[in-house]
Homo-oligomer: A and B are copies of this chain.
């Protein structure tokens, strides 16, 4: 595949033969996998027959495993069928998660094979309700959690997978909340059983889960939070509640923790996998809990990196019960994507989180908002760990002038793409820093960062994998 760096917008023009107009000017297309079977009869919000024919909406579609360009903006036609218990949501904002990045590389088995629309969370407005739905009505503002399929303008999901957005919460916050906060909550308070005076290590403390976990830790008295992040993010995570910041790029985080807490830690949240899981285990004090919830170490580069995957498997942590017994330790695995069936548990967690939100104790931090056309850049920002907080997508149409700007950028990128690809193939990590800094300037998200200093921080940052 060519065009590793091309954003969704241009990819559509270049790669999608069946599309004759740009994606942002919707046109009738053959129905996609997720598109409607005509003839659906939504009970609570019946639509006119003509609309069913002309109903179109934009959707991001993973067309095959690979780089950022594999997620393309397409137009789906036909009103989605609405089964009993389901609601149709007009999506406003979508959240990006690490699982989406894994999925794009073919490393996440909860996503059906391409072509498929990714996306585990979004916010929006209910625009139709199916039979037997009693607790949602048209016009309800909701956040949605689903196994996949939410990166599109219209999504049909079980009503039980929606949660009412509380007053005062923006669609942006609502799209940033479900995955990160439920993940952090269940890890800390179900597996972790976090109590006052305990100590927690949070890797990637500036990431979505990291920020959520830090805020949740601060709801418990006298919890000490160790947080790793690159130095430029330390001020942000300190303000967010991290007690001891550790620059994992210049310091050995195990040593740093031991200096302050020689006996070790009560809880380690491990999103990295591989050899970092071993380190986490050794850092536990008696009755300590290691909660591993990802294999971010597997992500090296845009496309599936077989060496990184193999390395992660090779170093994968495996534990014998006798060691656990003698150490009085706990090892837990968590992934919200595999908790599908447990909506009761998830709803309980969500209710608690929303209470904390209303009390002002937790609040999602948005790193940047991108148009659907910019999904490639958004994914890149997250994968290269240049975010502080949540990366989200808006379904708002992209203004014409911005489109022209994007197109110019893309031309420049097109030239550089070939260089990129060569370097990617060589698998050389050195020498990329300058190039990426340059790229970053071009990739400013559509919405201006509220704090100027954040931009400065980001420019200084280097991607995590570079020092790995």
Which residues in A have some Cβ–Cβ distance to B below 8 Å?
Answer: 186, 190-191, 193, 273, 277, 286-287, 289, 292-295, 316-335, 338-339, 341-342, 345
Contact = CB atoms under 8 A, between A and B. Distances in A.
A308 to B, nearest CB: 15
A331 B289 CA distance: 10
A441 B65 CA distance: 72
A331 B319 contact: yes
B322 A328 contact: no
B324 A292 contact: yes
Contacts of A334: 325, 328
A329 B187 CA distance: 11
A339 B335 contact: no
Given A316-B320, A318-B320, A331-B331, 8 more contacts: A273-B321, A286-B339, A292-B324, A319-B319, A321-B331, A328-B333, A328-B338, A330-B332
Given A190-B287, A193-B190, A333 B342 contact: no
Contacts of A321: 273, 277, 292, 316-318, 331, 333
Top 5 nearest A-B pairs by Cβ distance? A324-B333, A325-B333, A330-B332, A193-B193, A317-B321
Contact of A316 (B295, B322, B327, B345): B322
A217 to B, nearest CB: 16
A193 B191 CA distance: 7
Given A190-B193, A321-B277, A321-B317, A333 B329 contact: yes
A328 B335 contact: yes
Nearest to A345: B287
Contacts of A345: 286-287
A335 B325 contact: yes
B286 A342 contact: yes
A331 B324 contact: yes
A388 B342 CA distance: 38
Nearest to A294: B325
A432 B343 CA distance: 52
A189 B335 CA distance: 23
27 contacts: A186-B287, A190-B193, A273-B321, A286-B339, A286-B341, A287-B339, A292-B324, A292-B325, A293-B325, A316-B321, A317-B321, A318-B321, A321-B331, A321-B333, A322-B333, A323-B333, A324-B332, A324-B333, A325-B334, A325-B335, A326-B333, A328-B338, A328-B339, A329-B332, A330-B332, A330-B333, A331-B332
A326 B335 contact: yes
A339 B335 CA distance: 30
Nearest to A192: B193
Nearest to A280: B321
A338 B318 contact: no
A327 B81 CA distance: 32
A338 B326 contact: yes
